[in-house]
Amino acid sequence: MTWTLYSGWRAGAAYRVRIGLKLKGCAYDYAALDLVAGDQRQAAYRAVNPQGLVPALDLGDGTILAQSLAILEWLEETVPEPPLLPRTPLERAMVRRIAGIIACDIHPANNTRIGAKLRKLGVPDDVIATDWIQGWIRDGFDALEPLIARYAGRFAFGDQPTIADCCLIPQVYSAHRFGLDVTPYPAIVGVAERANQHPAFIAAHPNQQPDAVPA
């Protein structure tokens, strides 16, 4: 059966799942949603994922998966090779901690619907871009940098890509997109530079998606 990933080229949570799928060597069809135009809130997509958020992964048999971390954990359980989690529970807890800092503390404050609500409340665009978006990424990276510096090898945890990298690399992409100065985060930047030379990360990159809009 053919899998279909509902995605938007720059949507951070969908980018995470693309990396996981590419690392596992799983083929999928790509269903693009225009998140700026609001495709994700239309009835057609609500029938796939009532939450109106990407990603969703349609397994082709009527089963829909949603929530990026849940999809990545499911992928790890059903397609074990190559592993995206280390072997010991403590190591796995550290990888999931890194993923959690990004997926629960940095990214949610900065997604499209939060920005739209802030604008509705009268917060100026430049304040949203700097004080809000850059601020939350900076807060999170301040916490991540010492963890990555301590645990990274070639990747965020050791020398193999893990779920931590599936979350970290899209967040670094977002940091660049929103103009954050990342020089205070050499460990994070180093991991991102190495990851971005890996074929799976290259294939999952926003610019490589069919719905990418040229700069």
The contact mask relative to its own copies for 50-79 (x = CB under 8 A, - = no) is xxxx---------x-xxxxxxx-xx--xx-
> Is residue 97 part of the contact set for its own copies (CB under 8 A)?
yes
Q: How far apart are CA 91 and CA 94, in angstroms?
A: 5
Backbone angles phi, psi at 37, to 5 degrees: -75, -15
Helix (H) or strand (E) holding 7: strand 4-7
> Is residue 80 part of the contact set for its own copies (CB under 8 A)?
no
Q: CB of 114: closest distance to its own copies in angstroms?
A: 6
Give the CA angle between residues 73, 74, 75 to the nearest 5°.
Answer: 90
Q: How far apart are CA 74 and CA 79, in angstroms?
A: 8
> Is residue 3 part of the contact set for its own copies (CB under 8 A)?
no
Characterize the bridge pairing of strands 56-58 and 64-66: antiparallel
Site residues (CB under 8 A) for its own copies, limited to 171-210:
none
Whose CA is closest to 76, among 16, 34, 136?
16
Q: CB of 77: closest distance to its own copies in angstroms?
A: 4
Q: Which one of 82, 117, 153, 176 is in contact with its own copies (CB under 8 A)?
A: 117
> Is residue 93 part of the contact set for its own copies (CB under 8 A)?
yes
> Is residue 158 part of the contact set for its own copies (CB under 8 A)?
no
Q: How far apart are CA 181 and CA 175, in angstroms?
A: 8
92/154 with CB nearer its own copies: 92
The sheet with strand 64-66 has its strands ordered as 29-32, 4-7, 56-58, 64-66
> Is residue 83 part of the contact set for its own copies (CB under 8 A)?
no
**Which positions touch its own copies (CB under 8 A)?**
50-53, 63, 65-71, 73-74, 77-78, 89-90, 92-94, 96-97, 99-101, 103-105, 107-109, 113-114, 117-118, 121-123, 127, 131-132, 135, 139-140, 142-143, 146
